[in-house]
Amino acid sequence: MDASVKSKLREIVGAANYSDAEEDRIVYAYDGVPMIENAPEAILFPETTEQIAEIVTLANDADFAVTPRGAGTGLSGGSIPSKNAVVLATNTWNKILEIDAENMTATVQTGVVTAQLMNEVEKIGLFYPPDPGSMNVCTIGGNVAENAGGLRGLKYGVTKNYVMGLEMVTATGETLRMGGKNVKDVAGYNLKEFAIGSEGTFGVFTEILLKLVPKPQKIITMTASFDKLVDAGKAVADIIAAHVIPCTMEFLDKTTIQSVEDYAKVGLPTGAEAMLLVEVDGFGSAVEDDAEKAMAALKKNGASEVIRARDAAEADRIKTARRSAFSALARQKPTTILEDATVPRSALPEMIEACQAAARKHDLFFGNFGHAGDGNLHPTCLIDERNADEVERAHKAFDEIYDKAIALGGTITGEHGVGLAKKKFLEQVVGPVGVKTMQAIKRAIDPNDVLNPGKMFSLAPRCESPLPRTQAGVEAFEERFPAN
Amino acid sequence: MDASVKSKLREIVGAANYSDAEEDRIVYAYDGVPMIENAPEAILFPETTEQIAEIVTLANDADFAVTPRGAGTGLSGGSIPSKNAVVLATNTWNKILEIDAENMTATVQTGVVTAQLMNEVEKIGLFYPPDPGSMNVCTIGGNVAENAGGLRGLKYGVTKNYVMGLEMVTATGETLRMGGKNVKDVAGYNLKEFAIGSEGTFGVFTEILLKLVPKPQKIITMTASFDKLVDAGKAVADIIAAHVIPCTMEFLDKTTIQSVEDYAKVGLPTGAEAMLLVEVDGFGSAVEDDAEKAMAALKKNGASEVIRARDAAEADRIKTARRSAFSALARQKPTTILEDATVPRSALPEMIEACQAAARKHDLFFGNFGHAGDGNLHPTCLIDERNADEVERAHKAFDEIYDKAIALGGTITGEHGVGLAKKKFLEQVVGPVGVKTMQAIKRAIDPNDVLNPGKMFSLAPRCESPLPRTQAGVEAFEERFPAN
């Protein structure tokens, strides 16, 4: 990038909010995805919508790319800088602007941390349900860009179900406000719905209006251990067949149980083949009814042990342990590939078996866990990326896992997004007409392909992927994981 | 339209599924909106997705427009034929293809009638919540095209919250399948969400996959009468403030109460200024708790009478009466303009007053009713369209009503769509950048502007609106309403 462009950028945001220092460029070169990274030309911390508009306008004139970034916890590479890009770091825009109890909404700046919002609204008896695994760190803006899910998706839905309004800067540097506090609104195309999950390619979010719901009065948390994986799958189906919709229904396989227990020490059943964490919530006697039906379904399907948490503290310990699955597994080996295969709920047992088969076939160390009620699994492969053969085997295993997911009517990503990590699978799941339609829309709304180009799909000839690992990135990795 | 094109169309669908007879052209010239109509060149009843693809391909080659149509009950003119258009009538595609109890989904053809689906799934304890006023006639395809709402929107959401998958023929004649039975799916842009509410301008829907939920165990229906309109508005706010989310919370003003009672004779409080119909549903004791809280809020806010329906039959009578509001009001005068102003719930009392003020100022006969919990009002103006002065006054009144709705943070349409009726207000609510973005996307996905052109917005220079009334339409009207 030209020095004159850099100096214009520095002028726009002010010297204190600009960096192209090598150490910052390394830090902002990656997100939660291993083995892909690319250093930005500069990192900008804009303070106003106008600054973002100026940056995007300059990007169109001077032919560079803009990659917006929240907390960088994404698991598909959505916030890894595109080629020749500046990073727009939004995590300092972290004010809750309004909580409107009467209309049950919250208006937040894009960089508000998800858990911070949850805690604030719970103080007045309201509830913001979407709870991605990284909720203590990730930002609402990032959640919207990726349409993040979480543990409560089955009953409460995902981020898109809670976004009532959005303000963003478009690819041509204009401000676009979509939606509002209206429960119903069908004025024109659903641009807001289209923006949700657009992975930074449609606009830079600045302000977000969220729907809230009344906080559930009562929560009952249960765990069940199984000697056979397939029994856990059957129990999930039976709970739903009893018309109980738990807010949470999490699955952990043996490897994950052992890793989590080793890490968190909460007394998980380390001898079990599988474990379910089931939580029902709501109001009045319905919660007890649901819990009874769920426990009956768990026992009927051969659960060797069904435990109901005595109190909120015990329930929290178990849930916190489940949330640590990613970190716990990541301790086993230097490189963690956490994937996102999702299938219709009825196909869950078959999908779990396919993951096990792929791990065996390619001699890989796999943990598996996920949101069983949603059919959303996180098969996690633990490797050492310096071992080229192991990397190749891992890629082969995931190719097979995604082939199977698609064959079962599933999808390549339930909640992490396509980004760079899933790009090669996109056409397989949405078809050539789907990709062509997405490309046509992207060209129409971002004619110079400046907003996070190369994510989800490429517009030839620019921005091919995968991005090569930069030399700086390799060195940083070697420092973190010195060769044995 | 060229005779050779017509004969090609007849060949594609077969002679039995083709008509350009004058009497059919008149019938398909209008929908639920008064004072706008335009006869199609021909009406086609395609029987396969392939036929639709051929028709759309021919439209691109021979430069005519295609307007898809379900039951034609729409209230914004979305299914009124564009200029030089053929109508694709989809209401004969009315098979329920699958009800999948395990995954709680239903797959239907586009022309399935909404109430037909509801009844089928309730037989096995499942529930399809979206219930537009026309649910006994309208089609799922039309519901998706307009993102239809209904009486249960506050608690259960609208059509978009239940569409898991869509198959459609694109504007270039290709088949695009979006979504599937996955509870979570973030593979690429949200094309499915974008298609919902696209009013026939993005694709012709052929197959729709819908989410179902467990059928609520218990429903409690209440009515309350008020001597002051503003008290009804306060009661609505207080019910929500008590964290009760009724499935239905309908408002009727005095004119509507009287018209409905006159028509349906169910014992509505004809002396009251306003009436609320409140329904809570769910499982276990929570339903009784909610009903008690709601009744307390109604009484606290000055309800002169609060009645709880004794049984399902009584509740059904009241709800059926409410559903007849449109028809009941329509009996008063030849022309019914039913509008769709929607505001944040907290602004409801002010919006109701603004409607009354506009009616008084312009000396018009107005009824007002709607979904109070959603802030979604249906101010309904009753005129005689042969009275040019009255028509003009009605237009002025609605201009003022929409100005007020937008000033209150509201929108021009909560659930009816923009179509032709609201086109002139679109930019006011979504802004010039919003319209420009919508136009850019429409050009990208439908380069020859063949799919329902001129709805929501125009792509200059083609298809300007409002469409003139055709001579045939005028004659049909005179026949229905002979001059006094």
User: From CA A133, how far away is CA A325, in angstroms rounded?
Assistant: 9
Question: What's the pLDDT band for B464 if we cut at 50, 70, 90?
Answer: very low
B153 part of contact set with chain A, CB < 8 Å: yes
Peptide bond into A40 cis (omega under 30): no
Residues from chain B contacting residue A170 (CB–CB below 8 Å): 433, 437
Stretch 383-412 of chain A: residues touching chain B, C-beta under 8 Å: 409-412
- Mutate which of B122, B127, B184 to disrupt the A interface (most A C-beta within 10 Å)? B184
- Check the CA dihedral A14-A15-A20-A22 and report its sign: negative
**Residue in B closest to A377 by C-alpha:** B184
In this structure, what token pair is assigned to residue B450?
A: 């063949």
Helix (H) or strand (E) holding A255: helix A254-264
Report the percentage of chain A scoring pLDDT > 90: 91
Peptide bond into A461 cis (omega under 30): yes
Q: How far is CA A323 from the centre of its chain?
A: 13
Report whether pLDDT(B24) > 50: yes
Name residues 8-67 of chain B within 8 A of A (Cβ): none
Distance from C-alpha of B358 to C-alpha of B389, rounded to nearest angstrom: 16
For residue A244, what are the contacts with CB-CB under 8 A and spacing of at least 6? A280, A290, A293, A294, A297
* pLDDT on residue B483: 43
Quick one: average pLDDT of A309-313?
93
In whole angstroms, what is the distance from residue B84 CA to residue B5 CA? 12
Distance spanning both ends of chain A, measured CA to CA: 38
| B-chain residues near A214 (CB < 8 A) | 243, 245
Residue bearing tokens 């080996």: A333
Contact B178 A373 (CB under 8 A): no
B410 and A182 in contact by Cβ < 8 A? yes
pTM: 0.94
Distance CA A140, CA A157 (A): 15
Helix (H) or strand (E) holding B276: strand B274-282
Query: CA of B5 to nearest chain A CA: how many angstroms apart?
Result: 27
Average per-residue pLDDT in chain B?
93
pLDDT digits (tens, 9 = 90+) for A344-386: 999 999 999 999 999 999 999 999 999 999 999 999 999 999 9
Q: Which amino acid is at B157?
A: G
| Per-residue pLDDT at A90 | 95
Instruction: DSSP for B424-476, please give it.
Output: GGHHHHHHHHHHHHHHHHHHHH-TT--BSTTSSS--TTS--SSPPPPHHHHHH
Find how far residue B417's CA is from the centre of its chain. Answer: 7
Reported as a pLDDT band with limits 50, 70 and 90, residue A483 is very low
Largest interatomic CA distance in chain B: 70
SS3 at position B361? helix
Question: Does the CB of B196 have a partner CB in chain A at under 8 Å?
Answer: yes
> In chain B, what residues touch A183 (CB-CB under 8 Å)?
153-154, 342, 345, 373-376, 414
Residue burial A228-252, b: 16+ Cβ < 10 Å; e: rest: ebbbbbbbbbbbbebbbbbbbbbbb
Q: State how far residue A444 is from chain B, nearest Cα, in angstroms.
A: 6
How confident is the model at residue B484, as a pLDDT?
Answer: 35
- Is residue B481 pLDDT above 60, yes or no? no
- Whether the Cβ atoms of residue B43 and residue B24 lie closer than 8 Å to each other: yes
Residue at token pair 């295969």: A341
The minimum CA-CA distance between B415 and chain A, rounded to whole Å, is 6
pLDDT bucket at A473, cuts 50 / 70 / 90: low
At residue A230, the pLDDT reads 86
| A438 interface with B at CB cutoff 8 Å | yes
Query: Minimal CA–CA distance to B467: which of B79, B96, B7, B113?
Result: B79
Comparing C-alpha atoms, which of A338, A409, A411 is closest to residue A379? A338
Instruction: For residue B436, give Cα distances in angstroms to A440, A475, B189, B439.
Output: 16, 46, 19, 5
Question: Closest partner residue to B197 among A186, A288, A415, by Cβ?
Answer: A186
Best of B185, B249, B340, B433 to disrupt the A interface (most A CBs within 10 Å) is B185
Domains in chain B (CATH in brackets) are 3-89 (3.30.43.10), 96-214 (3.30.465.10), 217-327 (3.30.70.2190)
Please give the average per-residue pLDDT across A43-54, as a whole number.
Answer: 97
What CA–CA distance (Å, rounded) separates A293 from B283? Answer: 13
What pLDDT, on the 0 to 100 scale, is given for residue B476?
A: 57
Residue pair B107/B101 in contact by the 8 Å Cβ criterion: no
pLDDT at B366 over 60: yes
Higher pLDDT, A469 or A298: A298
With vertex at residue B414, the alpha carbon angle to CA B411 and CA B415, rounded to the nearest 5 degrees, is 150
Using the predicted structure, report yes or no on whether residue B461 has a pLDDT greater than 90. Answer: no
Q: Evaluate if residue A472 carries a pLDDT over 70.
A: no
Residue B83 has phi, psi (to 5 degrees) of -65, 145
From residue B220, how far is each of B217, B280, B329, B373 by CA, in Å? 10, 5, 27, 16
CB contact under 8 A, A186 and B438: no
Opening angle at CA B402, ends B398 and B403, nearest 5:
115
Where are the strands (E) in A268-317, listed by range?
274-282, 303-308
Give dist(CA A371, CA B92) in Å, integer. 40
pLDDT of residue B230: 86
Token pair for A421: 């990590």
What pLDDT, in 10s, does the model give residues A398-449?
999 999 999 999 999 999 999 999 999 999 999 999 999 999 999 999 999 9
pLDDT given for residue B102 in this prediction: 92
d(CA A182, CA B410) in angstroms, rounded, equals: 6
Q: Please check the confidence at residue A323 and state whether its pLDDT lies above 60.
A: yes
Ordered alpha helix ranges (H), B362-425: 388-407
Q: How many CB atoms lie within 10 A of CB A83?
A: 17
What are the tokens at B379?
């101010």
Which chain A positions have a beta carbon within 8 Å of B103's beta carbon? Answer: 344-346
Rounded Cα distance, B271 and B284, in Å: 36
* Region of poorest pLDDT, from A367-381, B12-26, B271-285, B458-472: B458-472
| B352 and B233 Cβ atoms separated by less than 8 Å | yes
Structure confidence by residue, pLDDT tens digits, B158-214: 999 999 999 999 999 999 999 999 999 999 999 999 999 999 999 999 999 999 999
Minimum distance, in Å, between the CA of residue B422 and any CA atom of chain A: 9
